[in-house]
Structure 1
Amino acid sequence: MVAPRNTAYAEESAEVEVLYANLEKLNRLTKKIQGSMVRLETSGKVVKEAIGPIYSNTQSLQITNSNIDKVNDAIDRLRQPLDAKNREDGTIRAGPQNSGLKAYIMAMKRVEKALVDLSTTNLRSNQQAMTDFNDLLNIGSLKLQETLRAELNQHVTPVEPLHYLTKGLQFPSIPEDTIAHLAQLCSAIGSASIHGLQRSKGENPAMKIYAETRGPYITASLQNLAIASMNTVKRRPTDGPYKQGTNGIGIYSNALEAFIITEHGIIQQMFSGAQQGLVLQATFLSAMGEYSKTLRELNQYIKANLMTDCFLAFEIIEIVMKMSYDIEPKAAELKSLLVEALRPVRETAKSSLSELLEETKRKASTVPLPPDGGSVPLVEEVMNSLATLTGYEDPLSSILTSLGDGNWHAKSKASGSAPLDVGPDTKVLLSHFILDMLEALMTSLEARGRAFHRSKAALGVFLSNVFCIVDRSIRQTPELAQKLGAPDSIARIDTFRKRATSTYLDAWKETSQYLLDVQYTSRGAQRNSGGNVDSSAIVKSLSSKDRDAIKDKFKSFNASFDEMVSRHKTLHMEREVRTVLSRELQTVLEPLYARFYDRYVEIDKGRGKYIKYDKASLSVQLAQLS
């Protein structure tokens, strides 16, 4: 039997026992939870091992389903091009007239797309289908080409260019709405050529159609002008040198340029940038060929008539070069054709310069001279030619620059002197050539005159007349005066005038010799240093022999002077020449005669037996020579 415990501790002991009892229950509960967790973990592993394969199979099935969907889509895409053939075949084979151009072009585009899609699959089974599509696209392209050719043919009736040029009208083009319509055709034809069987050719068939249609129209329209250019070149020999602007080549060139500008405007709207130059060049191939042929024929005529028609060569150069520069921004492809067409004329023009010099020398050395000292028509011909040359400064500058300064001489050419690409100012080159022409003319005529004229008076007058006509032409032609206005040029020309005057005065030397009394003036006592001369004293100081000599001098002077005056009056002189020569003669002869007269006037004692002219009457005689 348990001993009784203290009541105070009895309650605490009871509480402790309750706590132990609860702790025991908690331990049992924990063990149950741990057992449940073990069983749950074991069950989870079993479930995972059971469900894992099922999940994996589900993912594989989803991927398979996705692949099946993609295959179905691909099959649908493959079927679409094949379906397009059946849909578009009838439309394309019927032609654009039935369905309308817009619908027809859309059908063509769908066929092109189908062909591209088939090409990307690269399946052997599609090869036949691709061939069928190519055939269909080719059929459609040919029908579009027929349409393009037919519509272009409605605008190729030849026109008369002269009508539009004279009235200042624009050359006829194709209506704007038609151009837009044709541009669609060209684009569709070009697109078909890229995707269809024609893609290997590398060009748009529309380009060839345009050139084949518009080219003959332009050539036919220009035909009359080509004929007119040849007809207007033929002139009578009496017509003289070619006159600027009288040949039809200028109008012909203007018309050709107008056609180029018009066609460029059309082509620019109908074709892409890369194609425009090729189309323009192909379109004008025939017209440029005819133009080149005309230039060659004109060149043959110029070569056969070089002295009178070389100016036409210069004009052609100016016209063609200007046209080539004008069209370059729009039709650079045609510039090379123009330059090549011009080449023969340019070569003839270059050779004509040395030929002008040589021909001038040949004519001057054989020209018949009038016995009265008059000039010859050749002088005016050459001066007219030189004046005409100044009207072609631009082409001449180009030619002279390519030749080089002085290389226009035949001897320079023969010696193989290399032409210079650069040199003095072109105006200086032209001045040098003109001076060489003048010197060739005047020196050759001088040699001819010295061989023909026995009298120095006639020779001097002849040379003075030649210079006078040359000088007059220069003064009356502002262009020549400008080219020859430099001091060195004036000096070179004036040298000839001085020789001419000196030659004329040489004819009076004999007359002047009679007025010289060297044998007397050497005596210091009889020389007059200035002031009045005492003729009586001088005469008295002379011996009888010296007096007779003075008397003979007066007689001989009188006879020689009268003869020279008479001869002078028979010579033909230009008005300016007569004035100049008489003044020069007065300047030389009057002082000599006045001195001689003042010294020996008393030899005659006023009887007029030996002295025919006093100073005043001699001066009158000389003045009347002008």
Structure 2
Amino acid sequence: MAPQKNAAFAEESAEVQVLLASLTKTKDLTKRIGASLNRLDASGKIVKDAIGPIYSNTQQLQVTSRNIDRVNEQIEKLRKPLDAKGREEGIIRAGPRNSGLNQYLGALKRVDKALSDLTATNLRSNKQTISEFHSLLSTGVNQLLDLYRSSLQEEDHQVEPLHFLTKGLNFPVFSSEKCSYLSDIANAIVSAGAQSARLGQRDDDQGVNIYADLRGDYLYLSLQNLATASISTSKRGPNDQTVYKPGSNAISTYAQCLENMFLAEFENVSRIFRGETVGRVFAATCSKALNDFGKTLAELNGVIRSRMLTDCFLAYEIIDLITPLSYRLEKRTGQLRPQISDALRPIRDAARSSLTEILSRTRGQAESVTTLPPDGNTIPLVHETAMRIRTLGHFDKPLLHLLTSIGDGGWRGNGPSNASANSLGAGSNGTPQSSTLKLADTAADNPGLLSNYLGDLLDLVLTTLNSRSQGIHKTKPLQAVFMLNTIAVLARTITSTPELQPYLDPSRLETHRKAATSSYMTAWREPSAHLLDTINTTASRPVSGSSSALDSTSIIKSLGSKDKDRIKEKFKLFNAAFDEQVARHKSLYMEREVKTALQRDVQSTIEPLYGRFWDRYHELDKGKGKTVKYSKSELAVVLNSL
């Protein structure tokens, strides 16, 4: 056992010796590696110290190189504008006609671009060059402005708008080539103007001003004759009291031509200018013609106010024409409605005040009547009122809007309600379209306002004239016939005017007609009373509903002498009273409707009574005609002749 243990120990001891030897070698190797690393680190420091300055210099050289490239680029940019001056100056100095418009505009654009580049550098050394370039650009723009002005003047011939309107022709506009030509020039002028604005010089509106001045004069001069015609057709003699006839003033033609010329000009402007400039140029171009239009309306307003009763209808016509015109122009162009509304405001104010003035002045005229026709005929005031009512029917739309603005009953002199007045005032100052349309819808939904107004006018005339007739005419028949004639004239106007049908019914006059008819029929009570008898006779009377006739002979025989004398007296009194009323009736003037109605009423009253009386007592004078003057047929002839 001992030798085996020794052998195992010896083997393990040998392995330990081998491991110790390997560890010693590893330590030696580690020392060598550490020494190598130290030597390598020392060498790296030496290399770094040697190469570091070289790398830094290389980076600086790269930055410097890039800076030099950039400087060269900027130099090239600076040289380009300078080179452009020499190239473009000759073209610009020669002018657009000699150089050709396209080449000339190209030169201006390049000079404009060069000026922008120079200005962007903000170098003090460039100030002189910038000034020279701007001078060159100004020279070019001035020549362009002259060309622009002369090109516009070629189209600036005054036209006669009435010719285009009556012939149904399109109003003249620029050709497409002309618009393109002017557009190129206008855009170049605007671009140069923007350059001037950047340099603190405000001349960017030169092209706009030239266009607005020249085309504004064209519109103004072309429409001037129509403005003059509108004034001249409004003037009448001092004694002319006829009511204004719709369409008799030239304002309608003036308005149509103005609208068409404005729309034609807007087409020109929108094809020449761009963006927001279009509206500004269009408004400026139309301003002179609009100012003249406003002056025309102001002068017409003076005429209307001086002849309110007869010419207020001209105000209604103007409102009816111009208000929708302003909305049409705004819809098509986006412009001019506030200006037109301002011009229309005096007319609108006059029209609104006329509603009260018509009533007050009509009442005053009726109350001032001192004489009336002795035959019951009507007076001129009645026919004037009838004509006035008929004409009011032609302007129901503007009247409904005006009446809506002052409120129901406001025309009686109480003034408009605050809400209504504010609505109208705001609209005239340029409120949003929806507000005005709301007012229009309200008017359209309330036709009763116009019915009430016209009814008030009718009642005022009839009531006042009835009072005057009672003070002037001495007999009730005369008073009644005068009123019935007055009512007939007014009723005829209503029935013969389709525009009045939605607002007035002739039955509105029925109360006045019944009162006058009743008053007239009181005069026929006297002859009627003589045909009533209460004499008792012994003759048998037919049973009611019997077909047998009265036997006049039997009745007369049954009468005593006193009764016969009474019957004779009744016949004589009837004959006298009847003849007197017939003569008086025929002496009076009666309108056709009045004569027919009164004849029917008289006949229906007298004929049955006389027929009964005649049937009973006509044999009193045995056909001699001394007492019984009229047979039934003869009386019917006389009554039919009424």
> 1:427 offset after TM fit, Å?
2.9
Task: Provide the TM-score with structure 1 as the length reference.
Answer: 0.82
Alpha-carbon spacing, 1:68–1:563, altered in 2? closer, same or farther (3 Å): same
Once residues 264 and 419 of structure 1 are traced to their aligned partners in structure 2, the CA distance between those partners, rounded to angstroms, is: 35
- Tell me how far 1:373 sits from its aligned partner: 1.8
Q: How many angstroms does 1:202 deviate by?
A: 8.0
Deviation at 1:142, TM superposition (A): 2.0
- The 3-state SS of whatever aligns with 1:243 is coil
Matching residue within 616, 620, 623 for 2:632: 616
2:453 is matched by which residue type in structure 1?
Answer: F
Change (3 A) 1:592 1:32: closer
Q: Which residue number corresponds to residue 9 of structure 1?
A: none
Confirm whether residue 275 of structure 1 aligns to residue 277 of structure 2. yes
- After TM superposition, list the pairs within 5 Å mapping 1:94-493 onto structure 2: 94-197=94-197, 201=202, 203-235=204-236, 240-365=242-367, 366=369, 368-409=371-412, 411-413=413-415, 419=421, 425-485=445-505, 490-493=506-509
The answer for the alignment partner of 1:12 in structure 2 is: none
Asked whether the equivalents of residues 547 and 603 of structure 1 are also in contact (C-alpha less than 8 Å), the reply is no
Deviations 1:342-367 (A, max 9, x none): 22222222233333333333443417
Please tell me whether the aligned partners of residues 371 and 472 of structure 2 are also in contact (alpha carbons under 8 angstroms). no
Q: Note the C-alpha offset of 1:416.
A: 10
CA contact (8 A) 1:586 1:622 kept: no
Kept in 1: contact 2:405–2:420 (CA 8 A): no
Q: Quick one: which of 604, 607, 612 aligns to 1:587? A: 604
Partners of 2:30 and 2:523 lie apart in 1 by: 167
Point out the more displaced range, 333-342 or 301-310: 301-310
**Superposition deviation, residue 228 in structure 1:** 2.2
CA deviation map 1:528-560 (0-9, x unaligned) = 995689999999999998887666555433332
- Give the structure-2-normalised TM-score: 0.81
- 610 and 604 in structure 1: CA distance in 2 versus 1, 3 angstrom threshold: farther
* AA partner of residue 223 (structure 1): Q
- 1:14 corresponds to: none
2:518 aligned to 486, 502, 508, which one?
502
- On the 8 A contact 2:621/2:628 being kept in 1, the answer is no
Shift of 1:602: 9.6
Structure 1 residue 235: deviation in Å? 4.0
After superposition, the Cα gap between the structure-2 partners of 1:53 and 1:448, relative to the gap in structure 1 and judged at 3 Å, is same
Q: Is the 8 A contact 2:196 2:203 kept in 1?
A: no
Query: What does residue range 591-602 of structure 1 map to in structure 2 within 5 Å?
Result: 591-593=608-610, 601=617
Distance apart, 1:620 and its partner CA? 1.7
Using the TM superposition, name which of 133-142 and 187-196 deviates more: 133-142
Q: Distance in 1 between matches of 2:618 and 2:89?
A: 134
Code of the aligned partner of 1:504: Y
- String of CA shifts for 1:279-313, please: whole Å, max 9, x gaps: 11111221112222222222222333333332222
Q: Structure 1 pair 280/42, CA: closer, same or farther in 2 (3 Å)?
A: closer
- Alpha-carbon distance between aligned partners in 2 of 1:353 and 1:83, rounded to the nearest angstrom: 77
Q: In structure 2, the residue corresponding to 1:584 is in which secondary structure?
A: helix
1: CA distance between counterparts of 2:418 and 2:633? Answer: 63
Amino acid at match of 1:567: R
- Encode CA deviations 1:74-111: one digit per residue, 9 max, x unaligned: 33333433443444344334432333222222222223
**The 10-residue stretch of structure 1 (326-335 or 174-183) with the greater mean CA deviation from structure 2:** 326-335
The alpha-carbon deviation at position 436 of structure 1 amounts to 2.3
Contact kept in structure 2, 1:604 and 1:610, CA below 8 Å = no
Aligned residue number for residue 11 of structure 2: none
Give, in whole Å, the separation in 1 of the partners of 2:618 and 2:628: 13
2:288 is paired with a residue whose SS is helix
The CA distance in 2 between the partners of 1:549 and 1:218, in whole Å, is 93
1:32–1:302 Cα change, 3 Å? closer
- State the shift of 1:255 in Å: 1.8
Q: 1:417 to 1:104 in 2, by over 3 A?
A: closer
Could you tell me whether the CA contact under 8 Å between 1:460 and 1:500 is conserved in 2? yes
For the residues of structure 2 that align with 1:91 and 1:414, how far apart are their CA atoms? 70
Where does structure 1 lack aligned partners over 5 or more consecutive residues? 1-18
1:275 CA drift (Å): 0.9
Instruction: Quote the sequence identity (%).
Output: 43
Gaps of 5+ in 2: 1-17, 424-438
Q: 1:330 to 1:396 in 2, by over 3 A?
A: same
| Aligned alpha-carbon RMSD (Å) | 4.0
Matched-pair contact (CA < 8 Å) for 1:565–1:625: no
Letter in 2 for 1:166: T
The amino acid across from 1:401 in the alignment is T
How many residue pairs were aligned?
597
Deviation (angstroms), 1:143: 2.1
Corresponding residue SS for 2:189:
helix
Contact (CA 8 Å) 1:400, 1:430: kept in 2 or not? yes
1:61 is matched with which residue? 61
Query: After the TM superposition, which of the residue ranges 346-355 and 193-202 deviates more from structure 2?
Result: 193-202
Q: Report the CA distance shift for 1:380/1:58 in structure 2 as closer, same or farther (over 3 A).
A: same
Distance 1:418 1:189 in 2: 50
User: Would you say the 8 A contact 1:156–1:213 is kept in 2?
Assistant: yes
Structure 1 residues 415 and 280: CA distance shift in structure 2, 3 A: closer
SS of 1:157 mapped into structure 2: coil
CA shift at 1:163, angstroms?
Answer: 2.0
Contact 2:192 2:204 in 1 (8 A): no
CA distance in 2, matches of 1:284, 1:346: 22
- The amino acid of 1:579's aligned partner reads T
Q: Deviations over 1:89-144 (max 9, x none)?
A: 44334432333222222222223223333333333333333333333332322222
Cα offset, 1:233, TM superposition? 2.6
Residues 367 and 158 of structure 1: is their aligned pair in 2 closer, same or farther, counting only changes over 3 Å? farther
Deviations 1:224-263 (A, max 9, x none): 2222222333345569333222222222222211211111
CA 1:454–1:42: 2 relative to 1, 3 Å: closer
Query: Over residues 475-533 of structure 1, what are the superposed CA-to-partner deviations in whole Å (9 max), with x where a residue is unaligned?
Result: 22222334323xxxx44311111011011012223334445569x89xxxx99995689
Q: What is the letter of the counterpart of residue 406 of structure 2? A: L
Contact 1:551–1:610 under 8 Å retained in 2: no
CA-to-partner distance for each residue in 1:403-425, whole Å, 9 max, x for gaps?
3223223x334999975856663
Q: How far 1:573 moved relative to its partner?
A: 1.9
Alpha-carbon distance in 1 for matches of 2:118, 2:515: 97
Distance 1:46 1:482 in 2: 117
Structure 1 residues 418 and 156 mapped into 2: Cα distance closer, same or farther (>3 Å)? closer
Bigger mean CA deviation after superposition, 136-145 or 537-546 = 537-546
